Amino acid sequence: MTIRKMLLASVAVACAAMPVSALADTSGKKIALSNNYAGNSWRQAMLTSWDKVTGEAVKAGVVAAADAFTTAENQATEQAAQIQNMILQGYDAIVLNAASPTALNGAVKEACDAGITVVSFDGIVTEPCAWRIAVDFKEMGRSQVEYLSKKLPQGGNLLEIRGLAGVFVDDEISAGIHEGVKQFPQFKIAGSVHGDWAQDVAQKAVAGILPSLPEIAGVVTQGGDGYGAAQAIAAAKRPMPIIVMGNREDELKWWQQQKEANGYETMSVSIAPGVSTLAFWVAQQILDGKEVKKDLVVPFLRIDQDNLEQNLANTQAGGVANVEYAQEDAIKVIEAAK
């Protein structure tokens, strides 16, 4: 099954056929992407997907502009200023991957008060006037421990690799992992480091904490950190634990090599970077007059032992397993939420 089918098959479709014709003309509308961080392969893939899909939409005359802006630092104050600039520049909608779920609420409220549609995704905001598109990040974390409980019924020590400190996604996945440990108390989190969703950062962080840790049975992760963890553990000449991967090409390639060499088994899970394109189409549909629920949930993408090779073959070198959304996909998600 393709990645697109894996994701979209899990969205319940309310109607067998859904119209994609416009309720109102959005050809003159301008949409901006406000992104807080671009320092890893997932964010780069997210921006690439945005440029590809929105570029086609602008060319087709669906909207007038779909410009992307990324802050230099992962700072809420800088992103708030960016949003305020977007208000002054006259954008009709802002699609937002936020540095903080709460610190941007003031700027988001200013945008709403100016009549601007705000759709947050991945790093969502809590301001009630905004829309939110997210996966169940807590479940993404909890499911890792559940998987390990089946592979390691006796339990053991876990190393937790977290993402960017202070970001909604990091907090939610970590909370889910800790819920999983409560559910499966044969596991204990022996250590925790921040890998910033980047392989090089994760490798250094894991190398730094390993000397203080007992034998590790499993590594629970957030994405963009599995391969770095494997490199650090191999360099330390310690037994290789089960490392949950995050759908990055280098992680999947390493997993395939280990699978062929010694039957290594694990799983991989992440949100598809192309969720930015879903957020774009949701914003376009709202501008088009469509009634949309404030909170939309999309499935996370999981790769298992039996479909590893197929997913790796469909993942760009240096990239992330991905799906990009079309307008009709957004309409299905919107309708399924009603």
Q: Are residues 131 and 233 in the same domain?
A: no
Mean pLDDT computed over 164-193: 95
Q: Are residues 254 and 216 in the same domain?
A: yes
Report the CATH number that the domain containing residue 160 is assigned in CATH. 3.40.50.2300
Q: Are residues 180 and 243 in the same domain?
A: yes
Q: Nearest 5 degrees, angle CA 126-CA 276-CA 97?
A: 35
What is the per-residue pLDDT across 204-239, written as a single tens digit (0 to 9) for each? 999 999 999 999 999 999 999 999 999 999 999 999
| Nearest residue to 285 (alpha-carbon basis) of 22, 44, 90, 17 | 22
Mean pLDDT computed over 37-50: 93
Q: Are residues 263 and 169 in the same domain?
A: yes
| Chain CA centroid to CA 222, Å | 9
| Residue 9: per-residue pLDDT | 52
What is the per-residue pLDDT across 85-96, written as a single tens digit (0 to 9) for each? 999 999 999 999
Q: Are residues 118 and 190 in the same domain?
A: no
Q: Are residues 241 and 293 in the same domain?
A: no
Q: Are residues 130 and 237 in the same domain?
A: no
| Nearest residue to 37 (alpha-carbon basis) of 285, 251, 224 | 224
Distance (Å, whole) CA 221 – CA 197: 9
CA atoms within 13 A on the CB side of 235: 13
Q: Which domain, by its residues, includes 243?
A: 137-270
Q: Are residues 276 and 127 in the same domain?
A: yes
AA letter at 207: A
Q: Are residues 159 and 128 in the same domain?
A: no
Confidence grade of residue 14 (pLDDT, cut at 50, 70, 90):
very low
Q: Domains in the chain: how many in total?
A: 2
pTM of the predicted structure, to 2 decimals: 0.83
Distance (Å, whole) CA 11 – CA 271: 15
